[in-house]
Amino acid sequence: MQGQENNIVFLPVEDAARRDVAVLWDTLRLEANAAVHRDHALARAMNSAVLMHAGFGHALSHRLAIKLADHDVDRDELLALIHGAYTDRPGLLGAAAADLQAVKDRDPSNTEVLTPFLYFKGFSALQGYRVAHWLWTSGRRHLARHIQSRISEAFSIDIHPAAVVGRGVMLDHGSGLVIGETAVVEDEVSILQNVTLGGTGKETGDRHPKVRRGVLIGAGAKILGNIEIGIGAKVGAGSVVVTAVAPYSSVVGVPARPVGKPHTALPGLTMDQSLSEPEYTI
């Protein structure tokens, strides 16, 4: 299949998501061409990663296959596998576009979509997880576990393929992130590095956190057990959270405790890590 990526045909996604994907793809191509114009040494890289492909799905499939291939499942096999996921679940491309746009909008170190598409392991790991989740829900669990393992090896990010993750999610840096089997992460959540969404021991069943829309989780936070982190909440860096967090509230410490005043924004979108009373930054 190598060299035949442009022959893949992807099914259309829902209208709004299809427009989002088309706009993002146009932007990605413009940025890749601009990168070549600025530095011709990048011509081969930009052509291979972006410009030779017929669309966002082709390019993303190719990128993930290169990053996750090994001697057990090679690049061509992975390319066909990822193509199968995007054909069966076209909404995965809409989710990927929303994730990529989230990085552009929220990461102050980045002003484009090309850089996270090419280089940010949080974005790549999340898209690999989405393929593994498709495999898991399709009953192909050993292959899902293989993809999970490769994501962990390649990116130091461990997301169980049974976990449920929404759209527009940003995994900033991503290193050391662990998300357990029964965890839920809703739309527009931002999570920094070395975060654990884990259990509290050897309990079975539904045992992992439920992170609601627009939550911001600071670096190194540990959220343990089947507890709810309410919509729009903030969890401070280094906190250990073992009880539910109210919507639009902020918690910090070991064990975490509420601090400051309630807020009305979604910190997962604003990336506002400060509190007014008392003075504190997560």
Alpha-carbon dihedral sign for residues 124, 169, 167, 130:
positive
- Which amino acid, one-letter code, is at 208? H
Average pLDDT value for residue range 135-150? 98
Residues with Cβ < 8 Å from 9, sequence gap 6 or more?
none
For 66, list phi and psi in degrees, rounded to 5.
-65, -45
* Burial (Cβ within 10 Å: 0-12, 13-18, ≥19) of residue 17: buried
**Which two three-digit tokens encode residue 98?**
């929303």
Q: CA-CA distance, 202 to 93, in Å (whole number)?
A: 36
Average pLDDT value for residue range 108-122? 97
Q: pTM score, two decimals?
A: 0.91
Alpha-carbon dihedral sign for residues 140, 176, 163, 21:
negative
> What is the predicted pLDDT for the residue at 48?
97
Over 60: is that where the pLDDT of 5 sits? no
Domains of the chain are: 1-157 (1.10.3130.10), 176-282 (2.160.10.10)
> Confidence class of residue 16 from pLDDT cuts 50, 70 and 90?
confident
User: CA angle 212-188-122, nearest 5°?
Assistant: 110
First CA to last CA distance, the chain: 47
Q: CA-CA distance, 192 to 221, in Å (whole number)?
A: 9
The rounded Cα 274 to chain-centroid distance in angstroms is: 24
Q: Angle between the 91-106 and 75-88 helix axes, to the nearest 10 degrees?
A: 100
Average pLDDT value for residue range 223-245? 97
For 238, list phi and psi in degrees, rounded to 5.
75, 5
Per residue in 34-51, pLDDT (tens digit) is 999 999 999 999 999 999
